[in-house]
Structure 1
């Protein structure tokens, strides 16, 4: 028996040990990496939500859940849309420059279709849920034309979710990503841009 193994045998043993070690590391790491994947339940919670708005009445607000958030859909009539121009001077960010909304909703109505407003129903101050207060309301001031009022700290938003001046909320209500699938079906969680 020779005391010095041949170089070819040494290369073979080194290569074999490397392959076996690599397979062992892959087997050990696979469950760890798999644990980083979201569960089926988590994936379902973040998936888009489809809503049929064809039977909504003018002035009606419905609430749906998407990603554990309340999402409001408001069907606005022509009188409600007209109030958006009437309150512009009272708003902190009337052009929605400092607010969150998809590009398709960056307009005076903050919506794809002016008739349907889609908003996250969470106040941008401390996360309370504002109340829908349509029409004039003396409790909210002579200039109130309808919109959303947060009873927690008094923030007010118009019928496009734009925040009034001199209230605690820093920005307009957020518009989630959404798109119209057809004239009466909205898909929340996806946009045409995506």
Structure 2
């Protein structure tokens, strides 16, 4: 067996070694780019499918709301199951006023099941500060108007703020409780909901054990 010496300083190219072919490099890079583009093309529609469509939301998907920007006294409107939902941040003064007109209400203690069990209280809410209602009159399905800054007193003496249905004159206080002497038979509906944290509400489902 003969010994073969290797010259590490030999700069010659062995014909049996792979060649650094520029065309081959181009084809390799081009193939990689096309392959990556194909992956992106598959991934984007798949990721998009993770978010519920508008049709799914209308059919009953939960709706998540950021309430961090709602100031005391303000109300926002969202859509859940094709219905308007109101989220009101009530002031301490408004909360205190709810006890003053209960003798004028049809169902002041929310005996009728128009709310989850956790909202069967004077404030009809999970947290007193936030009122969440389905904005549909319980008479014939019109959407009441929110009247504030004394405008509601035109319809109920001594009550500064509330909801008035322009279709047939039903009136509700700022807990969604219906007044006597109007066509609407029931309080406004409180939907199921839960607080994920201090700034986020999910409408459509309740936390386990909520009561």
**TM-score, L = length of structure 2:** 0.70
Deviation at 1:43, TM superposition (A): 3.7
CA distance in 2, matches of 1:133, 1:44: 29
Runs of 4+ in 1 over 4 A off after TM superposition: none
CA RMSD of aligned residues (A): 1.5
CA distance in 1, matches of 2:105, 2:160: 12
1:85 matches 2:136: no
Alignment of 1:130-145 (within 5 A): 130-137=144-151, 138-145=153-160
Unaligned stretches of 5+ in structure 2? Answer: 1-52
Unaligned stretches of 5+ in structure 1? Answer: 1-39
**Greater Rg, structure 1 or structure 2?**
2
Which residue of 2 is the match for residue 184 of structure 1? 199
Contact in 2 for aligned 1:50/1:187 (Cα 8 Å): yes
Which residue of 2 is the match for residue 166 of structure 1? 181
Contact in 2 for aligned 1:51/1:185 (Cα 8 Å): yes
1:87 match: secondary structure: helix
Deviation at 1:42, TM superposition (A): 4.7
Q: Which residue among 45, 61, 80 is the counterpart of 1:47? A: 61
Contact in 1 for aligned 2:57/2:80 (Cα 8 Å): no
Contact in 2 for aligned 1:61/1:73 (Cα 8 Å): yes
Q: Which has the higher contact order (CA 8 A, sep 6+)?
A: 1
Deviation at 1:144, TM superposition (A): 2.3
**TM-score, L = length of structure 1:** 0.76
Deviation at 1:41, TM superposition (A): 6.3
